[in-house]
Amino acid sequence: MAKFAILGYGKMGKEVEKILLSRQEEIVARIDNEEDWQQQWDQFLTADVAIEFSMPSVAVENFKKCFENHIPLVAGTTGWYDRQKEVLDYCRQCKSAFVFGSNFSIGVNVFFKLNELLANIMKDQEAFQVSIEETHHITKKDAPSGTAIHLAQIIEKQYNNKIEVPIESFRLTDVPGIHKITYQSENETIELTHTAKNRVELAQGAVKAAHWLLQHPGIYDFKDIALSIKN
């Protein structure tokens, strides 16, 4: 059994906690603010791995604390990707281990693959215009979501970056996450949709990634390993 630190103790942090407790894993620290860091620093240093679901404003500093202390990290926070090169370079400099991802749901990562396949088919169908719509809970800080941005990047790559996919974002009360890709022509509509019923799959994916990272140290985007993780 591994010792876990939970960084970010909001809705996702509490969901991760439920999964870990159900698996009888040991949680050595639950850190949500600077006071927690001060009070639980020694406990944090005993962790074998950390799972981070916080806010974009504090995520990178959380990452660096893990890297500097050689604590493997799984990060589900989005909204920091404008600093991705800085973060990955620092992780390499510290010789640490890191899994990051826009979405830790296995279903969403299947959805990424389906999106890629559909975009490859549709790229020459000039009558169709593609767009993305994403809906999340009102407390989600970033818009559009990291998942929606990644979906758009997949499509744009298939179109040889000749288009820019528009994304429309909605924030409603307690919606875990809905992503819809639409191809619209004058006479037809093709839609591909993923709906999250709750946050459980995200938490399970993060816990699975943490165990995988302990066995396979390195730096990974979750989408590149998601469908290889079996435990």
- Residues noted as catalytic: 136, 140
HEC states along 75-130? ECCCCCHHHHHHHHHHHHHCCCCEEECCCCCHHHHHHHHHHHHHHHHHCCCCCCEE
* CA of residue 66 relative to chain centroid, distance: 17
Residues 6 or more apart whose Cβ sits within 8 Å of residue 89: none
Separation of alpha carbons 101 and 76, rounded Å: 6
